[in-house]
Amino acid sequence: MNNKNLIAPLVDLKAEYKLIEDEVNTAIKKVLESSSFVLGEEVTLLEEEIANYCQVKYAIGVSSGTDALFLPLLALDLKPGDEVITTPFTFIATAEAIALCGAKPVFVDINPFTFNIDISKIENIITPKTKALIPVHLYGQPADMTPIMELAKKYNLFVMEDAAQAIGAEYKGKKVGSMGHVGALSFFPAKNLGCYGDGGMILTNDDELNQKLRMLRVHGSAIRYVHKYIGTNARLDTIQAAILRVKLRYLDEWTEKRRNKANIYSNLLNHPEIKTPYVESHNYHVYNQYTIRVKNRDSLKSKLLEEGIPTAIHYPIPLHLQEAFSYLKYKEESFPESEAAAKEVLSLPMYPELKEDCVDTIVNLILKHIK
């Protein structure tokens, strides 16, 4: 595809930057002049602001969304053979964090409408080895947290919300990341709140866990050269925190613009062969991705690219079929809903600055090729 023919990029980070260029540059310059590049004041201030925004007591800045998933599991002191339940229809980091801690990922199929973990299928696979649950708020829509927390209480399980794609999303009026024992956020650049590199945040209301996580991100240490735990280097850079503080002020405005574009897409994509996102009535969806389901997905994807419309597949291979997890011995058809979704999902251009006439053009081209 020639860039001259590009109708709209999948994500437009440059357009976003141009809107806040002066504020971002000033924030970066302030950090450069302070020369406090690791766990500086901007990190502390961002943690306070994110905790307040996400309705939790504590937020711990870390170096990536993957570390935001990994460190809470590390804090659990999981043993080989321990099991952690999650979905196979997500980015690999969710299950990767489980494996890196020495535990076993155990998958549960998805609800075909929301793409989130199917609550009705969890209890049957809980065993005495099950230690934790990781629901994923996929694409920006919350998972069904009430029954998840009821199961967790019944079986004494730790719950970590993977909210990497869902900052600001709400379930029955509660912000994602505030309902489990911890929540994990990602600030990867393409996220609704993204930095200019890698970054993440852990959310919790637990005083002891907060203290332990703060040590684990600095080699298990609260006092320099005194190490209580085996930890790692997982600190959020001060420059990234400064950038995120600027962008956080715009997050709600940008989210509403995303929701507006999503509504336009859904209203116009009125065709029996296209399934637009299904949103539970109690959910506030933040549309990190706007993802449709369609038969002959790969053909449509190719045709749209020829027309100047890049799209993405989130995700083409469910985790139980990835070579990295072949040792788990899952087979094809182990999770039919996840496998079916992987063959049909297609994410369309979605960002706050996306123009409505571009949405119209994208929809018209989709309908043309569908028909």
Return the pLDDT at 5. 86
User: What's the CA gap between 133 and 94, in Å, rounded?
Assistant: 11
Question: Given this model, what pLDDT does residue 371 score?
Answer: 73
Rounded CA-CA distance 242/38 in Å is: 12
Count Cα neighbours of 26 within 13 Å in the Cβ-side half-sphere: 7
Q: Which value, to the nearest 10 degrees, does the dihedral of the CA atoms of residues 111, 279, 181, 67 take?
A: 80
Strands 221-223 vs 200-204: parallel, antiparallel or unpaired: unpaired
- Residue in 166, 198, 161 with CA at minimum distance from that of residue 182: 161
Task: State the 10-residue block means of pLDDT for the chain, 371 residues long.
Answer: 79 97 98 96 98 98 98 97 98 98 98 98 98 98 98 98 98 98 98 98 98 98 97 98 98 98 98 98 98 97 97 98 98 98 98 97 96 73
Cβ atoms of 131 and 199 closer than 8 Å: no
DSSP 3-state of 53 = helix
The rounded distance, in Å, linking the Cα atoms of 316 and 83 is: 25
> Position 71: which residue type?
L
Q: Which residues in 84-107 are b (16+ Cβ under 10 Å) and which e?
A: bbbbbbbbebbbbbbbebebbbbb
Residue 66 CB burial class (10 angstroms; 0-12, 13-18, ≥19)? buried
Residue 206 token pair: 């637990």
Domains present along the chain, CATH in parentheses: 15-248 (3.40.640.10), 250-370 (3.90.1150.10)
- Ramachandran class of 139: left when φ > 0, alpha when ψ lies in -120 to 50, beta otherwise: left
What was the pLDDT predicted at 2?
Answer: 54
Amino acid, single-letter form, for residue 358? C
Name residues whose C-beta falls within 8 Å of residue 272's C-beta, 6 or more positions apart in sequence.
none
Handedness of CA 328, 334, 335, 338 (dihedral sign): positive
The pLDDT of residue 276 is 98
Q: Distance of alpha carbon 51 from its chain centroid, rounded?
A: 17
| H or E element at residue 217 | none
Give 104's strand partners: 83
Q: Is the peptide bond before 53 cis (omega within 30 degrees of 0)?
A: no
Q: What is the pLDDT at residue 4? A: 62
337-342-344-348 Cα dihedral, nearest 10 degrees: 130
Residues 89/338, Cβ–Cβ less than 8 Å: yes
pLDDT of residue 1: 54
